[in-house]
Amino acid sequence: MSKALEIKNKIHALIEEYHKEMFKEKAFVPGESSVPVSGKVFDHKEMQYIADSGMDAWFTTGRFNTEFEKKLAKYINVKSVLTVNSGSSANLVAFSALTAHELGDRAIKPGDEVITVAASFPTTINPMLQYGVVPVFLDINIPSYEMDVAHLEKAVSPKTKAVMMAHTLGNTFDLGAVKAFCDKYKLWLIEDCCDALGARYNGKHVGTFGDIGTLSFYPAHHITMGEGGAVFTSNAKLKKIMESFRDWGRDCWCETGKDNTCGKRFTQQLGDLPYGYDHKYTYSRQGFNLKITDMQAALGLAQLEKLDSFVETRRHNFRMLTEVLAKHTDKIILPQATPNSDPSWFGYLITVKKEAGITRDQLTQKLNEKKINTRLLFAGDIRKQPYFSDYEYRVVGDLPNTETVMNDTFWIGVTPMINDEMIEYMGRCFDEILK
Express each pLDDT in 424-433 by its tens digit. 999 999 999 9
User: Is residue 414, in this structure, part of any structural domain at all?
Assistant: yes
Q: Is 375 helix (H, G, I), strand (E, B) or coil?
A: strand
Terminal Cα distance for the chain, rounded: 66
Q: Is 221 a catalytic residue?
A: yes
Residue 127's pLDDT is: 98
What is the rounded average pLDDT of the residues 418-424?
98
Q: Angle at the Cα of 405 (from 119 to 217), degrees rounded to 5?
A: 50
Q: 294-344 pLDDT, tens per residue? A: 999 999 999 999 999 999 999 999 999 999 999 999 999 999 999 999 999
254 compared with 379, residue with greater pLDDT: 379
**Which DSSP letter does residue 140 get?**
B
Residue 287's pLDDT is: 92
For residues 308 and 325, the answer to whether their CB atoms sit within 8 Å is no
Residue 264's pLDDT is: 86
Q: Collect all residues with Cβ–Cβ distance below 8 Å to 427 and sequence separation of at least 6.
A: 321, 324, 325
User: Is residue 278, in this structure, part of any structural domain at all?
Assistant: no
Provide φ and ψ at 188, rounded to 5°: -70, 150
What is the rounded average pLDDT of the residues 206-223?
97
Alpha helix segments (H runs only) across 60-198: 63-76, 87-97, 122-130, 152-155, 175-185
Find, among 344, 345, 356, 347, the residue nearest to 430 by Cα.
356
What is the rounded average pLDDT of the residues 156-163?
98
If you count them, how many residues does the chain have?
A: 435
pTM of the model: 0.96
What is the rounded average pLDDT of the residues 19-34?
95
User: Is residue 11, in this structure, part of any structural domain at all?
Assistant: yes
Specify the amino acid at residue 217.
Answer: F
User: Is residue 232, in this structure, part of any structural domain at all?
Assistant: yes
Q: Angle at the Cα of 77 (from 38 to 228), degrees rounded to 5?
A: 40
Cα–Cα distances (Å) from 343 to 168, 196, 312, in that order, read 10, 7, 10
Find, among 341, 310, 306, 342, the residue nearest to 415 by Cα.
310
Q: Is the pLDDT of residue 82 over 80?
A: yes
191-200, 223-232, 260-269: the lowest-pLDDT one: 260-269
What is the rounded average pLDDT of the residues 368-383?
97
Residue 267's pLDDT is: 85
Q: List strands edge to edge, sheet with 212-216.
A: 80-84, 229-233, 212-216, 188-192, 160-166, 113-117, 134-138, 394-395
Residue 59's pLDDT is: 87
User: Is residue 82, in this structure, part of any structural domain at all?
Assistant: yes
Q: Is the pLDDT of residue 33 over 80?
A: yes
Output the domain CATH number for residue 413: 3.40.640.10
What is the rounded average pLDDT of the residues 410-422?
98
> What CA dihedral angle connects 363, 367, 373 and 374, to 10 degrees?
-10
What is the rounded average pLDDT of the residues 247-259?
81
**Which DSSP letter does residue 147 get?**
B
In DSSP notation, 188-223 reads EEEEE-TT-TT-EETTEETTSSSSEEEEE-STTSSS
Using pLDDT thresholds of 50, 70 and 90, give the confidence band for residue 347.
Answer: very high
* Mean of all residue pLDDT scores within the chain: 96
User: Is residue 365, in this structure, part of any structural domain at all?
Assistant: yes
Alpha-carbon gap, residue 19 to 173, rounded angstroms: 40
Specify the amino acid at residue 428.
Answer: R
Q: How many structural domains comprise the chain?
A: 1
47-61, 77-91, 119-133: the lowest-pLDDT one: 47-61
Q: Which of 44, 167, 221, 222 is catalytic?
A: 221
Alpha-carbon gap, residue 71 to 150, rounded angstroms: 37
Alpha-carbon gap, residue 211 to 160, rounded angstroms: 16
Residue 397's pLDDT is: 92
Find, among 255, 304, 240, the residue nearest to 71 by Cα.
304
Q: 255-280 pLDDT, tens per residue? A: 777 788 788 898 888 888 899 898 88
Q: Angle at the Cα of 248 (from 244 to 249), degrees rounded to 5?
A: 45
What is the rounded average pLDDT of the residues 407-414?
98
Residue 270's pLDDT is: 81
For residues 419 and 28, the answer to whether their CB atoms sit within 8 Å is yes
User: Is residue 69, in this structure, part of any structural domain at all?
Assistant: yes
Q: What domain range is 393 assigned to?
A: 1-249+284-435
Provide φ and ψ at 173, rounded to 5°: -75, 170
Alpha-carbon gap, residue 337 to 341, rounded angstroms: 7
* Percent with pLDDT over 90 in the chain: 91
Specify the amino acid at residue 113.
Answer: E
What is the rounded average pLDDT of the residues 173-177?
98
Q: Is the pLDDT of residue 238 over 90?
A: yes
User: Is residue 268, in this structure, part of any structural domain at all?
Assistant: no
342 forms beta bridges with: 200
